[in-house]
Structure 1
Amino acid sequence: MTSLDPHASLAADPIRPLKSGFSSSLSPDEFRGLFRGHPAGVAVITADTGEGPVALTATSVASVSAEPPLLIFSISSLSSASGVLARADTVVVHLLDAHDLEVAKAGAARGVDRFDQTHRWSRLVTGEPVYLDVRAWVRCAVIDRMDAGTSTVIAAHALQSHIERGVDTDVHGDALVYHNRTWHRLGNHSRIES
């Protein structure tokens, strides 16, 4: 993907549209199996468009650019939060570590009130729901959306952040990773080279 201009549309980006009619394609199960062995960091994304707060757990968050500060993530149309996230002008992306496992599980659970524990979250002065005491969060303005299969890819410009538990260069941290349908904690024991 090319660098995103926060004022440009993804539609104007030189990404080629998906072609239909390929002679071969992986099945959904083959594709899931491929990525099951590819670990990913865990984030929870929250938003509120006036109908109440929503949250979902995502492993698709990636930084795109530092200047300007841009990130992307995708949301499945099957998520109960997808409608609100598809309309939200701003979102909060929570970057989690192993201490935030319960927040990650709540965002991934079906049919639960992700905001029933009122002591676990608050609202920013700008109105977005934010989970308290997570490793870090970043408030973002949504700058573009692109339909991609059964998901929507969202590009966002970072506006404000808070780091509760920073990670120094020589410290392993306690990164929360999702791999092969299981939560994992990265730590010094998992380092294979420095």
Structure 2
Amino acid sequence: MVTPAKDAASPDATLKSLFAQIPTAVTIVTVGTGGERYGATVGSVGALSLDPPLLMFAMKEDSTLLRRLDVGSPIGFNLLAARQHDIARRFSTPGIDRFGLTHWCEENDLPRIDDALVWIAARVRDWVRLGDHMLVTAEVKHAEIEAGAPLVYWRREFRSLAEYEMVGSDSR
């Protein structure tokens, strides 16, 4: 059994170690406003509702991307494929031209990352401040799915689910 490192000087270290045990799909969230494009790597995207079709995601409240959103704003979700870890790193690195180094196109007035496993065009429905993050809900307007394994982030590393043996059946 692995236990988080105990650091009396930083109780956050234990919490970060705990959170690192929760695997998350890696998604690039994108917006385009006034000819400008913004995108960020987000590991907290999840399904919320089928009726209406809603997604949720969370980002630090001081995020540049969040400052570009209002209720009704278009927003894109690019769930990355296992081989796209370089794109995930790029969109989590501040101070670089993220789109200049990435193959992408514009779809539904949003930046869409080429070869992403899932593409979703949505509109911001609402948000709420929780701790130091904003939880945003978005209504799905269009979605496309490609075959393949997703990129996941687990134990502070990018991984592919294809690396792991299937332990059950998803044909319920």
TM-score bracket for the superposition, by shorter chain length: 0.7 to 0.9
Q: If each structure's helix is expressed as a fraction of its own residues, which one has the higher value? A: 1
Instruction: Give the gaps of 5 or more residues in structure 1.
Output: 1-25, 167-172
Deviation at 1:186, TM superposition (A): 0.7
Instruction: Give the gaps of 5 or more residues in structure 2.
Output: 1-9
Q: If each structure's strand is expressed as a fraction of its own residues, which one has the higher value? A: 2
Superposed, 1:1-194 pairs within 5 Å as 27-50=11-34, 52-85=36-69, 89-117=73-101, 120-124=103-107, 126-163=108-145, 165-166=146-147, 173-187=148-162, 189-194=164-169
Query: Could you say what the CA RMSD is over the residues aligned between the two structures, in angstroms?
Result: 2.2
Q: Aligned partners of 1:76 and 1:86: how far apart in 2?
A: 16
Aligned residue pairs, count: 160
Instruction: Please tell me whether the aligned partners of residues 174 and 185 of structure 1 are also in contact (alpha carbons under 8 angstroms).
Output: yes
Deviation at 1:77, TM superposition (A): 2.8
* TM-score normalized with structure 1 length: 0.74
Q: Aligned partners of 1:123 and 1:87: how far apart in 2?
A: 21
Deviation at 1:74, TM superposition (A): 0.6
82-91 vs 149-158, which moves further: 82-91
* TM-score normalized with structure 2 length: 0.83
Q: Aligned partners of 2:71 and 2:60: how far apart in 1?
A: 14
Deviation at 1:147, TM superposition (A): 0.9
Instruction: Please tell me whether the aligned partners of residues 125 and 137 of structure 2 are also in contact (alpha carbons under 8 angstroms).
Output: yes
